[in-house]
Amino acid sequence: MLRIVYVLIAVVIALAPASAQDAGLNALLETHRAKIEKPSRTTIGPVLDALVESKLPSVAVFLEKWREKDLWQREADGRFFFVEKTDGGQLMLIDVDTGAQAGLADRSELDNLKPNSGVRGVIAAALVQFQLSDPDPERRLQALTALERDANQSHLSILRTAIESETDPAIKARKERLQRLLTIKFGSNQQARVAAIKSFAGDPGVDARAALNPLLATSVAVFDSKPEGVNVARLLAPGSDIEMDAAYQLLVDEAKARPIVPLNDRKQALVANIKNGMVAGITVAQLVTQEARDRAYLELAADGTVPPLVTREEQRLAVADHVFAEVYAEPDTVLTTAAKETLANISGTVGFYQFVDLALDGLSLASIYFLAAIGLAITFGVMGVINMAHGEFIMIGAYTGYVVQQYIPNYTVSIIVALPLAFAVAFLAGVALERLVIRHLAHRPLETLLATFGISIALQQIAKNIFGTQARPLTSPSWLDGAWVLNDVVSISYIRIAIFVLSLAFLGLLLFILNRTRLGLEVRAVTQNPRMASSMGINPDRINMLTFGLGSGIAGIAGVAIGLFAKVTSELGSGYIVQSFMTVVVGGVGNIWGTLAGAGMIGSLQKVIEFFNPSNTLAAQTYMIIFIIIFIQFRPKGIIALKGRAAGTRPMQRSLFMRQPSVLVFIGLLAIFTVVMVILSEGFGLGLVSTSMIKILGKTLCLCLIAIAMDLVWGYCGILSLGHFAFFGLGGYMIGMWLMYERTKDIVIASLSGGELPATPEEIREGIGSQIFGVVGGSEITVVWYFADSLFAQLALVVLVPGLLALVFGWLAFRSRVTGVYLSILTQAMTLALSLYLFQNDSGLRGNNGLSGLQNIPGLTDVPQSVVSVWFFLASALALGLGYLVAAWVVSGKFGNVIRAIRDDEARIRFMGYPVEAYKLVVFTLTAVIAAIAGALYYPQAGIINPAEIAPIASIYLAVWVAIGGRGRLYGAVIGAATVSVLSSWFTGGQAPSIPLGFFTINWVDWWQVLLGLGFVLVTLFVPKGIGGMFDRLVRKDAAS
Amino acid sequence: MSALLEVTSISVSFDGFKAINNLSFEIGGQELRAIIGPNGAGKTTFMDIVTGKTRPDEGRVRFGEPQLDLLRLSESQIARAGVGRKFQRPTVFEAQSVRDNLTMALSNDRLPFAVLRYKPSSQDGDRVAALADEIGLSDELDRTAGELSHGQKQWLEIGMLLAQDPQLLLVDEPAAGMTLGEREHTTDLLRRAAKTRAVVVVEHDMEFVRRLDCKVTVLHEGSVLAEGTLDHVTANSEVIDVYLGR
């Protein structure tokens, strides 16, 4: 009997610890039951600590389940369980400590505990220490990552133990790194912390810098004398290191000086003390200057009515009497010194890696520009053809890729199919363009430029009609996603690497074709001497065709590459055309290495500029363009130029037979037209012609005026400037500034006139500033507006600013003998740079909002628009008449002969002793001023001006009007401008009737641009002398002038 | 007497090919000189250097009294200094009348603002008439230059050259494309001109050169091969080898 008792006791004793442990977790949970049932982030801490300290093996699983909302409580006795589903619909209870089954229960008897996310976060943090030592490396890594994001002091010791038991070297290294990082902040002794700090020397990781920077946090403090025993970062000299106002304010905050009285408070004080229309003996009407107000305030202060002013001198003395310093929050100098040194070292390393990253980005950009431009370089080099539609071939390639992806869903396969298909489509398009248009314009590079421009806008519009205006996706295969990351500073996406490889492949391929194949040999022969080549049996026609096709095909492939990371829209091409031209021009025409050099230079330059202006990509493009314009002055033939006599010769321009313009006839017609319109207008007469029509006519007359200027510079002098619209716009901006300023001033004065005190000039300026610049988030009137209150000054600027720009640009360009298409490209670049500059909000001209309300003339607010518009119409007619007279005078005498001689054979007239550059400069500047005056008259009639007006395309339209009207005839220019712009607004305004074609209706709003583009091509091909030329043929007189 | 034009040891290479090789040349103020030589000898390149179209890699070019360093001047400055050139192909301004061509060539102020204010004077009109007479185009004054025959264009160009009143005339193959009678007229023109100024004529036509009856310089491979009267030069064996043939 006793033996049985002993056995039972032994069993009980043996089992007791287990059940004591059993009871252990459950008992522990029982103790904290209330807090577990209703946990909150703040109260749960002690519970978790208790659980962790108990070192019970089941705690980890318990915590995990709890965090995952898998913990249940039996309502009857409040005990906690895990559950398992059974077939019967009931739940099997699992003991939280042993994991043994503990009976069935109904769902209704149980409560599922769902702690909120805050609590779950705290639980997760507690779990960390278990997870750090978890046998599964994935889990350890997860825990480590969570810890890296958010660690505190307690984790340091946990980490230490975790490191010791770590087997995986990579994870161990990370744990050690984290330990070092935490030691910086939480280390127990100075030595350990300093060692940890110094261990990060040369480490570019962001986490290192994030750990070190807080050690160097400073705040500004004021001391009565040089501080001792305080960890001073640096002493601040008032005025240079710290602003006087800020320094004084610090003194005020520390109650070491009297507070200054803000301007507004002073004003309110004056207002409060107005008695009988006077303040302290000064009449209210006199308080219109700040100086008068100050006097009044001083009077009040002398009486003690208001707090006294603190003079500047007083402030200065107070500030000088104290010492200002930046003080470290961290008092230990050893630590801060170590941190400072290490950070300095790190920034050196970071700087190096930033350079590497920049170089990689520059290479990537260069490879993109290379791909985009190499096709152009080939066609330009071989055929001397400037293809303005090159950008559209890129677009065609991109859209081809999109279409392919619509049919082949697998991204990898679709790209593999798209590349050769894009090449083929673009190749065919190029061949078609060459056969139909370019072939017929041989040796007329400027006409080719215009005709291809027509194709370009037609293609853009067609693409827009087919694919819509929204960007279409071109998706890269998933294995190209992501990036190659060297460290926190250097990384490059795989797509860019792929494009780089692609461009290298093309470089190699082209070099091979050009240097190792028969085709390449023939192409090179035709480039250098087409006649000689053809007399040796090479067919230059076939070569031209193939070359053009090849260049276009490469553009197509570039389109696919570009489409992978950029948006595929109908405007994709126009974003790359100017860059491609510049690459070709900078690199030197006609050879691949040149294009490579050009792309490299432009790509890296753009990245460098972007680095210094990180928030402003527009600025980067602007500076780059300006740099290139200057670069061309020194190396006008590009980096790698074709040498030899052949490179210097240019084909002779086709000369135009000019009839003496009948000036009187024109002036007469203009006068009659003007008078008739005025009589018929609403403002002055019969009201048969609406005010808006008068405005349209007035604007058209201004366009005719700039067309005359364009004809003068191009038709008569041979300078195809594709940037004259920039001068037009600048003229508009100059007068717009006065209009807007004065009108805003009137409004501000009116609104301030209701105040208690009359407005001071400063207050008016402030009001104007916030009105005008509020839209771009500023309120200060910038220096550009310095003269904006003077009509006379702004009128002078209308002439001076564009004139000066033309002088400088022209001097630079003509002096380095840049002519022909090169010059046209440079003028495009100039106008692009200007419009980009104006688009920026900090240009001081309201960015893309432009200037508005220009139809309201200050001082004439009572005059109705119908009358104002008639006056402007008259002014425009007058300006047009005068402009015509001036132009006719210039071209009819010897000067006209000389500039036409320059147009026809520049070298010859130079050898006759005429300083050709001086003539070009005179004509360029004069026409720029005429254009500016036309703009100054145009924009008040339009009512608004913004940078989009000066887009490069606007200047091209100008050339087109003149080409259509007939170059070298002044009235031709007028006809062209009037016809095309009126037609344009008729078609795009929706007034033109749609043409139903049965299956398809032509809506002119969508198709006008196509018609226009094709129109240019047809006019250039078949009617090179324009409408004016047709006119001449109809009224054939004796050819003698 | 120092020479009007002094070219000393000029050399120039194009892409590795030495077009002019240590060439020296001198001509006095009223002298007629013919330059002959095979194709590629550098005759046109020589003219390019003197007129400023090409810069030599080495050497000096001095002109006039007081001496100007032509290498420092631009083409139009050199032309204004008194060097006139007639090109191989006639390069008159085809879109303008003969009168306008000649008027532009007259040695008046060339600067833009002066030209803007220019009014045709009777003096200029007389001068144009005289020149037109000299070159035989009096009846064509109001015709567009593009309508003239090839020979007439050549004369117009010579006329424009004379209108500039240069001290040194460089004439590149004036006889090309002319009939025998026209050649005689051209010879007279040039000889007359040489009485008051220096004239350098580049030609291939030996008969034309013989009629000019002046000192001859033979160029070969970028440098002077021989110099002297035509008889002297044509008897030179080297010249015969490279140029005249046996």
User: ipTM score of the complex?
Assistant: 0.85
How many alpha carbons lie under 13 Å from residue A528 in its C-beta half-sphere? 13
Q: Contact B112/A900, CB-based, under 8 Å?
A: no
Residue A238 DSSP symbol: B
**Residues facing B13 on adjacent strands:** B18
Phi, psi of A1020 (to 5 degrees): -65, -35
pLDDT-derived band at B201 (thresholds 50, 70, 90) equals: very high
CA distance A944 to B78: 51
* Chain B residues with a Cβ under 8 Å from any Cβ in chain A: 14-15, 51, 53, 74-77, 79-80, 84-85, 87, 91, 93-97, 100, 103-105, 107, 110-113, 115-116, 118, 120, 142-144, 146, 160, 164
CA distance A967 to A1027: 9
Q: Which residues of B are less than 8 Å from A888 in CB distance?
A: none
Min Cα–Cα distance to chain B from A811, Å:
15
Q: Contact B94/A922, CB-based, under 8 Å?
A: no
User: Interior CA angle at A931 toward A926 and A934, to 5°?
Assistant: 130
CA distances from residue A4 to A10, B69, B102 in whole angstroms, order as listed: 10, 134, 146
CA distances from residue A71 to A96, A100, A532 in whole angstroms, order as listed: 9, 15, 92
Q: Are A196 and A183 in contact (CB under 8 A)?
A: yes
Q: Contact A655/B146, CB-based, under 8 Å?
A: yes
Q: Which residues of B are less than 8 Å from A656 in CB distance?
A: 95
- Return the structure tokens found at A886: 């001036």
The residue of chain B nearest to residue A923, with distances taken between CA atoms, is B112
Q: Which helix (H) or strand (E) holds A31?
A: helix A2-31
Min Cα–Cα distance to chain B from A596, Å:
22
Q: Which residues of A are less than 8 Å from B164 in CB distance?
A: 912-913
The residue of chain B nearest to residue A922, with distances taken between CA atoms, is B112
Considering only CB atoms, A893 lies closest to which of B53, B112, B118, namely: B118
Q: What is the rounded radius of gyration, in angstroms, for the C-alpha atoms of chain A?
A: 40
Q: Which residues of A are less than 8 Å from B94 in CB distance?
A: 655, 904
Q: How many residues does chain B have?
A: 246
Considering only CB atoms, A895 lies closest to which of B79, B80, B116, namely: B116
A1034 near B CB under 8 A = no
CA distances from residue A450 to A332, A456, A464, A681 in whole angstroms, order as listed: 73, 10, 21, 38
Phi, psi of A796 (to 5 degrees): -60, -40
CA distance A175 to A179: 6
Residue B116 burial (10 A CB sphere; 0-12, 13-18, 19+) = middle
Neighbour count for residue A678 (Cβ, 10 Å)? 18
With H, G, I as helix, E, B as strand and everything else as coil, classify residue A429. Answer: helix
Average pLDDT along chain A, 1041 residues, taken 10 residues at a time: 66 51 70 80 80 75 81 83 81 81 82 83 75 76 76 74 78 84 82 86 84 85 82 82 84 82 82 79 80 83 80 83 85 85 88 88 88 85 80 93 88 87 94 89 78 88 88 84 83 88 88 86 81 84 88 92 87 81 75 82 81 69 72 63 35 28 73 81 73 85 92 90 92 92 88 78 84 81 83 91 94 83 83 86 84 84 81 91 88 88 88 90 96 94 88 82 80 84 74 66 74 81 73 55 38
**What pLDDT score was predicted for residue A970?**
80
Q: Which residues of B are less than 8 Å from A913 in CB distance?
A: 76, 79-80, 107, 110, 164
**Residues facing B14 on adjacent strands:** B17
* Best CA proximity match to A118, nearest among A44, A53, A37: A44
Give Dmax over CA atoms of chain B in angstroms: 60
In A523-552, the residues whose Cβ lies within 8 Å of chain B are none
Min Cα–Cα distance to chain A from B130, Å:
19
**Residues facing B200 on adjacent strands:** B33, B170
The residue of chain B nearest to residue A901, with distances taken between CA atoms, is B93
E strands, A969-1012, where?
A: 995-996, 1001-1002
Q: Contact B14/A904, CB-based, under 8 Å?
A: no
**What pLDDT score was predicted for residue A916?**
92
- Return the structure tokens found at A852: 């508005």
Substitution target in B75, B141, B169 with the highest count of A β-carbons within 10 Å is B75
Q: Contact B113/A922, CB-based, under 8 Å?
A: yes
CA distance A907 to B89: 13
Q: Rounded to the nearest 10 degrees, what angle do helices A617-634 and A820-839 cross at?
A: 150
How many alpha carbons lie under 13 Å from residue B160 in its C-beta half-sphere? 30
**What pLDDT score was predicted for residue A644?**
32
- Return the structure tokens found at A935: 């703009």
Q: Contact B100/A897, CB-based, under 8 Å?
A: yes
Q: Which residues of A are less than 8 Å from B53 in CB distance?
A: 907
- Return the structure tokens found at A840: 């920026």
**What pLDDT score was predicted for residue A702?**
93
Q: What is the pTM of this model?
A: 0.77
DSSP result, A831-892: HHHHHHHHHSGGGSS-GGG-EE-TTS-TT-TTS-HHHHHHHHHHHHHHHHHHHHHHHHHHHH
**What pLDDT score was predicted for residue A649?**
29
Considering only CB atoms, A908 lies closest to which of B15, B91, B103, namely: B91
Give the strand pairing for B223-228 and B215-220: antiparallel
CA distance A822 to A812: 13
Q: Contact A1040/B93, CB-based, under 8 Å?
A: no
A918 near B CB under 8 A = yes
Residue B130 burial (10 A CB sphere; 0-12, 13-18, 19+) = middle
Substitution target in A712, A890, A906, A911 with the highest count of B β-carbons within 10 Å is A911
Q: Contact A1040/B164, CB-based, under 8 Å?
A: no
**What pLDDT score was predicted for residue A78?**
80
Q: Contact A911/B14, CB-based, under 8 Å?
A: no
A915 near B CB under 8 A = yes
CA distance A707 to A978: 9
Min Cα–Cα distance to chain A from B116, Å:
5
Q: Which residues of B are less than 8 Å from A890 in CB distance?
A: 116
Min Cα–Cα distance to chain B from A628, Å:
25
Substitution target in B57, B97, B113, B115 with the highest count of A β-carbons within 10 Å is B115
Q: Contact B103/A922, CB-based, under 8 Å?
A: no
A398 near B CB under 8 A = no
Q: Which residues of A are less than 8 Å from B76 in CB distance?
A: 910-916
Q: Are A377 and A596 in contact (CB under 8 A)?
A: no
A640 near B CB under 8 A = no
